[in-house]
Amino acid sequence: MLDIPKKPYGKLDLISADDHIIEPGDVWTKRAPAKLKDNAPRIVIGPDGMELWKVEERMTPNIGLSAMAGKTFEEYTAKAQSYKDMRPGCYDAKARVADMDLDGVKTQVCFPYVPSLGGEAFFEIKDAELRDWAISAYNDWLVEDFQATAPGRLVGLGILPLYNPEMAVGELHRIVKRGIKAVSIPCYLEGAKGCKSLVDPWYDPLWSACEEMDITINLHISSAKKGGSEFLKNPLPGMAEAYITAAPLGNFQILADIIWTGMLHRHPKLKVVSSEGGIGWVPYFLERADHTYNRHRFWTKSQLTVKPSDYFHRQCYVAFINDAAGVACRQMIGVDNILWESDYPHTDTTWPFSHKSVDESLPGVPEHERRKIVFENARRIYHLN
Amino acid sequence: MLDIPKKPYGKLDLISADDHIIEPGDVWTKRAPAKLKDNAPRIVIGPDGMELWKVEERMTPNIGLSAMAGKTFEEYTAKAQSYKDMRPGCYDAKARVADMDLDGVKTQVCFPYVPSLGGEAFFEIKDAELRDWAISAYNDWLVEDFQATAPGRLVGLGILPLYNPEMAVGELHRIVKRGIKAVSIPCYLEGAKGCKSLVDPWYDPLWSACEEMDITINLHISSAKKGGSEFLKNPLPGMAEAYITAAPLGNFQILADIIWTGMLHRHPKLKVVSSEGGIGWVPYFLERADHTYNRHRFWTKSQLTVKPSDYFHRQCYVAFINDAAGVACRQMIGVDNILWESDYPHTDTTWPFSHKSVDESLPGVPEHERRKIVFENARRIYHLN
């Protein structure tokens, strides 16, 4: 077991832009209307005594790598975990806040687990009524139970029925009124059922609605079909680690797509967050994109009117855990565009040593820059004033 | 037209680790044995007067982006080019050397065009005899015509029949004896006909042969099916530029695969070059890989015995054109592991201003480091002493 500090850190001067919920078993069953009661996503016990999430006919466990806070690296496992195997902060909002106190983290911005990172697992639900309801019910749980436990300290990212942009706009309006401050969108949305690429103009009305309400879209690495846990099935030894090593770079491609196809050009107030993507590759990304603009915009008849890096600096935010190369080149990225994250309770988490990790990550960074990176930028874009 | 300097630069103190050949029309026809004469790859004239390479039934043009040296960025085009549209240095070895003199480049290390970057287009040839011969004939042309034009100044990368590792070992021995100094291997070899992933142990005998002969394998971005010119077919505006921006990052994944699956562990003397991948992402890659090693090697039961960055520093080389972030963080990469390249005659080329580009790329870099990056490292690994 990890040697966990006994008393709270004290200073709550970190905001983490990317953390993860394991939903408690009653999120959907306790709010299901009578006619959906029997089909609401729920925990069932498998033949070997394992807890499994049942969503229609699909059964999936809470996989170990998603709930490793408090374990030593030697204890990390991909094997299914029961709730009793996890630290309660994984699934219990009150226990989570206690863990945040212990770690000196004021606020966490949290992604879902059962619906997948951007809701895409629920897009697969065959029963249309159940599908639409399961998404809304998750958002209701975020507002009524999760966020209500500690207002301003727990931020739940809403999910949207992206298989129907008009419905997605409606749900966005509904949940923002209820207190949702940002949403999660799958990166490779074209891999999610009934959806198109997020750079497809089909979604323009949704991005316009996000602009109007100043709602940030959060793109987490490994979301939708190009990522996921496919690597666990790969027979060649080492491919799991190769997958984990390269996973953040999916967000290099998605930022390239978003900028080049004009999504940010058409929506100049839209804010986009790259979650868990790291920052060490961002200076290269910006150089490479501007280089491409310099050399290729003539034959491609690019619709961009300013350099790709200008769109990035105006509208993109990049979250990192600890990343020496990115911090060294932070002026190329833009100190106003960087967010820190603790990734609780996943394997990359800095918990319960986030302050130590931040201090080691930001050697020689002046206090006013540090404060932007670990607190102010996130406070601004997630409306935590 | 580009304003091209009139007289040679003088100092020939650059070695470029990545450049490209457009083969002249007679490479295969002039050395075909009688029974293959009619089917040897050749130039034919299409219905609209366009020159096309005919390889069995497949017809492909010399695409514009592959032969842009001497054009302004405004003149760049993806459209097919005839030889008369190109600068002769693209296809004529003697003219190429004159262009190198003009640019101050001592040596170019060159990839093929018609066989594709790693020979993979030829793996598709249906007639087995023609297929094997077309590969060997390309290598013979490299030795007899291309390299012979200017020994030590033109290095042609050999290609191998990778659909048959035993034959590949045989061809490697044959061509190294003839004077080939390094080979090109497609990154996503599993996408090439009859091949497996390059990290598959199927290829271990080939890597052992490379170790024995100290022959470097060169992995060029966009080689085999995950790359290529698919982007030109994408209907969404901006996707061509998004593809070009992100293409170098394919080599992030391939280096992760090579290191994690133990290919370098099993072949501790094998040298691997990432060609046209840039270097700005490499510090992040090394951090991320070591971080993954620290946290995940227990549950994955990794076979690695040292950190991923140790394998990289011992065996990997990364080529860049101009890349401020990478140069700023060069100590994290390793000054002994960096190669400069001019990418002649592709769209990214520094020609005819390579010295200016190098000077701007390496601000404040001490002379002994500069010399390693632009000359000594390449001289050593390509046996140019």
Q: Would you write out chain A's pLDDT as a tens digit for each of its 385 residues?
A: 899 999 999 899 999 999 999 999 999 999 999 999 999 999 999 988 999 999 999 999 999 899 999 999 999 999 999 999 999 999 999 999 999 999 999 999 999 999 999 999 999 999 999 999 999 999 999 999 999 999 999 999 999 999 999 999 999 999 999 999 999 999 999 999 999 999 999 999 999 999 999 999 999 999 876 544 555 565 789 999 999 999 999 999 999 999 999 999 999 999 999 999 999 999 999 999 999 999 999 999 999 999 999 999 999 999 999 999 999 999 999 999 999 999 999 999 999 999 999 999 999 999 999 999 999 999 999 999 8
**Are B77 and A237 in contact (CB < 8 Å)?**
no
| Within a domain: B46 | no
What's the CA gap between B141 and B22, in Å, rounded? 13
Domain span at residue A350? 14-381
| Distance between A372 CA and the closest CA of chain B, angstroms | 22
Tell me which chain B residues have a C-beta less than 8 angstroms from the C-beta of A199: 236, 238
User: Does residue B373 belong to any structural domain of this protein?
Assistant: yes
- Contact with chain A for residue B63, Cβ under 8 A: no
Structural domain contains residue B55: no
Is A334 at the interface with chain B, CB within 8 A?
no
Number of other CB atoms surrounding residue B74 within 10 Å: 10
Question: Which conformational region is residue A255 in: left (phi greater than 0), alpha (psi within -120 to 50 degrees), or beta?
Answer: alpha
CATH number of the domain where residue A210 is located: 3.20.20.140
C-alpha span between A32 and B277 (Å, rounded)? 52
What's B72-89 look like in SS3?
A: CHHHCCCCEECHHHCCHH
Can you point out the beta strands (E) in B135-251? Answer: 154-156, 182-184, 216-220
Test B325 with A284 for CB contact under 8 angstroms.
Answer: yes
pLDDT at A227: 47
What is the least distance, in Å, from the CA of A360 to any CA of chain B?
Answer: 14
Q: What band does B225 get if pLDDT is binned at 50, 70 and 90?
A: low
Compute the nearest-CA separation of A285 from chain B (Å). 7
Q: Provide the pLDDT for residue A333.
A: 98
What is the structure's pLDDT at A385? 80
Shortest distance between the Cα of A236 and any Cα of chain B, in A, equals 7
Q: Decide if pLDDT at B246 tops 60.
A: yes
Number of neighbouring beta carbons within 10 Å of residue A229: 14
- The angle, 0 to 180 degrees and rounded to 10, between the axes of the packed helices B282-300 and A239-246 is 140
**Is residue B270 a part of any domain in this protein?**
yes
Cross-strand partners of A182: A216
Chain B residues whose beta carbon lies within 8 Å of the beta carbon of residue A295 = 73, 76, 347-348
Asked if the structure places residue B29 within a domain, the reply is no
A299 in contact with B at a CB cutoff of 8 Å?
A: yes
pLDDT tens, residue by residue, B120-154:
999 999 999 999 999 999 999 999 999 999 999 99
Give whole-number Cα distances, B139 to A164, B119, B161, B229, in Å.
Answer: 55, 10, 11, 25
Give residue B224's pLDDT. 75
Contact state of B261 with A239 under an 8 Å Cβ cutoff: yes
ipTM of this predicted structure: 0.96
Asked whether the beta carbons of residue A295 and residue B246 sit closer than 8 angstroms, the reply is no
> Can you name the residues that pair with B268 across neighbouring β-strands?
none
Are A288 and B237 a contacting pair at CB < 8 A? Answer: no
Distance (Å) from the C-alpha of residue A2 to the closest C-alpha of chain B? 13
Cα distance between residue B252 and residue B326, in whole Å: 14
User: Residue B7 CA to chain centroid, in angstroms?
Assistant: 29
Facing B241 at nearest CB: one of A197, A292, A328: A292
**Angle of the A250-260 helix axis to the B239-246 helix axis, nearest 10:** 150
Side-chain-facing half-sphere of A383: CA atoms under 13 Å: 15
Q: Do the Cβ atoms of A253 and B246 come within 8 Å?
A: yes
In a domain, A4, yes or no: no
- Residue in B233, B253, B284 to test binding to A, most A beta-carbons within 10 Å: B284
Question: What single-letter amino acid sits at B130?
Answer: L
Residue B35 three-state SS: helix
B50 has a chain A CB within 8 A of its CB: no
Angle at A189 (CA atoms; ends B288, A138), nearest 5 degrees: 95
Give the pLDDT band of residue B67 (cuts 50, 70, 90). very high
Nearest to A300 among B241, B249, B279 (CB): B241
A76 Cα to chain B: minimum distance (Å):
6
Chosen from A68, A260, A302 to mutate, greatest number of chain B CBs within 10 A: A260
d(CA B373, CA B14): 9
Residue A34 has which token pair? Answer: 């009578």
What does the block give as tokens for A11?
């200073």
pLDDT band at B69, cuts 50/70/90? very high
Strand residue runs (E) in B157-236: 182-184, 216-220
Average pLDDT over residues B327-338: 97
pLDDT of B199 higher than 90: yes
Task: Using CB atoms within 10 Å of the CB of residue B48, give its burial: 0 to 12 exposed, 13 to 18 middle, 19+ buried.
Answer: exposed
Q: Which amino acid is at A104?
A: G
A329 shares contact with chain B (CB less than 8 Å): yes
**How many residue contacts between A and B have a Cβ separation below 8 Å?**
194
Which of B200, B260, B318, B321 is the best residue to mutate to test the A interface, defined by the most A CB atoms within 10 Å of its own CB?
A: B260
Q: What 3-state class would DSSP assign to A85?
A: helix
Q: Is the Cβ pair A76, B295 closer than 8 Å?
A: yes
Share of chain B above pLDDT 70, in %: 97
CB contact under 8 A, A239 and B248: no
Q: Which two tokens stand for residue B25?
A: 């029309």
CB A336 within 8 A of CB B280: no
Report the number of distinct structural domains present in chain B: 1
Q: Where are the beta strands (DSSP E) in chain B?
A: 14-20, 42-45, 51-55, 58-63, 80-81, 105-111, 154-156, 182-184, 216-220, 272-275, 316-320, 338-340
Do B75 and B146 form a contact (C-beta atoms < 8 A)? Answer: no
Letter for the amino acid at A23? E
Residue in A240, A298, A326 closest to B300 by CB: A240
A222 and A250 in contact (C-beta within 8 Å)? yes
Confidence of residue B232 (pLDDT cuts 50, 70, 90): low
Confidence tier at B228 by pLDDT (50, 70, 90): very low
Q: How many residues does chain A have?
A: 385
Q: How far is A300 from chain B (nearest CA, A)?
A: 7
CB of B173 less than 8 A from some CB of A: no
Kind and range of the H or E element at A134?
A: helix A128-141
Q: Please state the rounded mean pLDDT for residues B161-188.
A: 98
**8 A C-beta contact, residue A194 and residue A123:** yes
The answer to the question of residue A5 being in a domain is: no
∠B59-B65-B70 over CA atoms, to 5°? 125
pLDDT at B231: 55
pLDDT value at B112 more than 50: yes
- Residue A226: the pLDDT is 54
Enumerate the residues of chain B whose CB falls inside 8 A of the CB of residue A260.
238-239, 241-242, 245
Q: Which residue has the tokens 């001497």?
A: B70
> B residues 199-258 near A, CB within 8 Å?
199-200, 236-242, 244-246, 248-249, 252-253, 256-257
**Chain-wide mean pLDDT for chain B?**
95
- Is residue A120 within 8 Å of residue A168, measured between CB atoms? no
Best probe of the B interface among A284, A294, A296, by most B CBs < 10 A, is A284
Distance CA A119, CA A138 (A): 9
B327: in domain: yes
- Classify each residue of B162-187 as buried b or exposed e, where b means 16 or more C-beta atoms within 10 Å of its C-beta: bbbbebbbebbeebbeebbbbbbbbb
Please provide the distance, in angstroms rounded to a whole number, between the alpha carbons at the two ends of chain B: 37
pLDDT of residue B385: 80
The full DSSP string for B351-384 is TT-HHHHHHHHSTT--HHHHHIIIIIHHHHHTT-
